[in-house]
Structure 1
Amino acid sequence: MNRPSRRGAPGEGPHVPVLMAEVLDALDPTGPGLAVDGTFGAGGYTRALLDRDPALRVIAIDRDATAIAGGAALQTYAGDRLRLVQGRFGTLDALVRAEGERQADWVVLDIGVSSMQLDRAERGFSFRNDGPLDMRMSSEGQSAADLVNEADEEWLADIFFHYGEERRARAVARTIIEARRRGPIETTGQLAELIAGVVRVEPGSHIHPATRSFQGLRIAVNDELGELVAALHAAERILKPGGRLAVVTFHSLEDRIVKQFLSARSGRAVQASRHVPSVERPAPKSFSPVTKGPVLPSEQECHVNPRARSAKLRAAERTDAPVPEPLDAVQALAVLPATAGLRGGSRR
């Protein structure tokens, strides 16, 4: 959901998704059918799908009520070809069936935080504009401030290390614990300043010292990896034979989950790693690959939109095989610190 600025036709959002052409090529949405955009955001993918074929219908889902409200103009433009639904994309199959549909022809997922969320200081996602330390995509449940001010040192270190891949995770956690003894940490500016005091970046680097830690907190607050695992299984359940799934990720852990899931579901053994044990080939095969390995953005797209640099697209086509049992090994990738806590791992 990371999108560069663009102005365009009525109902068009202020951003477009990365890898737009590549996603459409992978999905190949032609003729009458139902597409599900599980991460509506500013509506870029939804608009592109609607414009691809006048007979195509879209159910667009977003857990952020602000995003759904922002789609009003696109709803007017598309009429009854578009239905906007607030909810978690991890339950997209149930949401689609609640709309009276039995199966979908295409599913697209664009994982991560949107540019609109990052750019609005009051949402508390970014350290670039000081605001309340929130980070909740749905504005419900535990906030980043709750986590930062209540979690113990080990819990915080695990979040920063595993989700943010911050090598100084232990030092960041220790600094937070010491700081909150003097008073609660309530703003993004406060937290970013604390992290910058213990995390050093290479001279000339454009990466802020707080980038990885903020990423880890956001993933934990919104259970993003758990939602991704659930969404992959939900897409598997709702897609009809011949239906296609396209997933764009922006983080190595996200991409690893998608890769492991599609590898196992297409009959290739999941390789062992420090996160996941190897898995025997599942039978029957519920997906066949559409893309060979990840599809990356062009240099031109990265130049126009630097946020696209880490994007990866993977796509697959649903076979006529029945839905297999949930893939425990993939679920094991989505460690859930916000509920169960992360334990173990090397941190400094």
Structure 2
Amino acid sequence: MNTWTHTTVLLSEAIDALVTNPDGSYVDATFGRGGHSRALLARMGASGRLLAFDKDPEALAEAARIQDGRFSIRHEGFAALGDLPGGSVTGVLMDLGISSPQIDNPERGFSFRADGPLDMRMDPTRGTSAAEWLAVAEQRQIAEVIRDYGEERFAVPIAKAIVARRQERGPLATTAELAELVAGAVKTREPGQNPATRTFQAVRIFVNGELEELEQALKGSLDVLQPGGRLVVISFHSLEDRIVKQFIARHSRAVVDRRAPFAEPAPTLLRALDRVRPSEAEVAANPRARSAIMRVAERTDAPLPAARGRGHA
């Protein structure tokens, strides 16, 4: 049995913002290790319902420990959120990124802090691992991924080093190999930050399609939320937060059709409510909370142009 633990970030703040009706139907779009789900169940009434999503088999195993008839979980990414019936959900919570047990377990390959297989998949039973992708990707693609998803200014030297390494000695297989290679290619580094930080973030985001999945899930939330329903999203880096911020802003303002300037503008679909950062006390107790930003929005009663929701909650 492992000893890896996870401290849920902005726990009470997220539940306070999300729950408008204790007997409503809620979605924990990223179950992780269940901190938010357990707190939600404690706040919900007897007839409330909670559906969770997660790709990680270890998260599914943790979810099996919740013996509560109001709770169910799907072994899917949260891009599947839009498959739920339109207007069927009272609140959607998204806690983005990776959980502490995923980072701390060397076998998952998410971190350079301990050596392990270069995997990085949220669901290690599906898809292409980081090692498999880096073994075949072209230098240009590797550089674009590291630059765009890691905001790394040394993306080109790092990509060249990765390709040269696999040509000379074979492809990278472990996290330590990748971290050492990046350290040799990065000429300067931010104080207190490992030079491999941005590269590991970029490869992980790419391998799991995280930003594309986030965009799909946000679109799905518009379909499934009831009027007055809440969307609560916690992000941990600027790429995620920018997508969430722009999505809320885009759907919080009336849209004028320039082809018909005198027509009524299209109604807003969301109302931006809040932006919350962790308290100093929370960051002191859990340093991994320091970069978290929580954004809260509310679904208006404006109808979508066409319902896309399907399936059953």
Q: Aligned residue for 2:272? A: 289
Question: Which consecutive unaligned segments of at least 5 residues does structure 2 have?
Answer: 256-263, 308-313
TM-superposed CA distance for 1:15, in Å, is 2.4
Q: Aligned residue for 2:26? A: 35
Q: Higher mean Cα deviation, 223-232 or 302-311?
A: 302-311
The amino acid of 2:122's aligned partner reads M
User: Aligned match of 1:216 in 177, 191, 202?
Assistant: 202
Structure 2 matches for 1:180-329, cutoff 5 A?
Answer: 180-181=166-167, 182-202=169-189, 205-267=191-253, 283-291=266-274, 294-324=275-305
Cα distance in 2 for partners of 1:71, 1:84 equals: 7
Q: Aligned residue for 2:82? A: 93
Q: Following superposition, which runs of at least 4 residues in structure 1 exceed 6 angstroms of deviation?
A: none
TM-score (norm 2): 0.89
Cα distance in 2 for partners of 1:308, 1:64 equals: 21
Q: CA 1:316 to 1:117, structure 2 compared with 1: closer, same or farther past 3 Å?
A: same
Cα distance in 2 for partners of 1:185, 1:324 equals: 48
Structure 2 matches for 1:98-177, cutoff 5 A?
Answer: 103-139=88-124, 140-177=126-163
Cα distance in 2 for partners of 1:120, 1:201 equals: 28
Q: CA 1:58 to 1:16, structure 2 compared with 1: closer, same or farther past 3 Å?
A: farther
Cα root mean square deviation, aligned: 2.1
TM-score (norm 1): 0.80
Cα distance in 2 for partners of 1:235, 1:34 equals: 13
Q: Aligned residue for 2:6? A: 15
Cα distance in 2 for partners of 1:311, 1:28 equals: 20
Question: Which consecutive unaligned segments of at least 5 residues does structure 1 have?
Answer: 1-6, 8-12, 270-280, 327-348
Structure 2 matches for 1:65-104, cutoff 5 A?
Answer: 65-74=57-66, 76=67, 79-94=68-83, 96-97=84-85, 103-104=88-89
Q: CA 1:325 to 1:126, structure 2 compared with 1: closer, same or farther past 3 Å?
A: farther
SS of structure 1 residue aligned to 2:65: helix
Asked which structure has the greater RCO (Cα within 8 Å, sep 6+), the reply is 2
Deviations 1:203-248 (A, max 9, x none): 8x32111000000000000010000000001111111111100000
The amino acid of 1:33's aligned partner reads G
Cα distance in 2 for partners of 1:258, 1:268 equals: 18
Q: CA 1:153 to 1:131, structure 2 compared with 1: closer, same or farther past 3 Å?
A: same
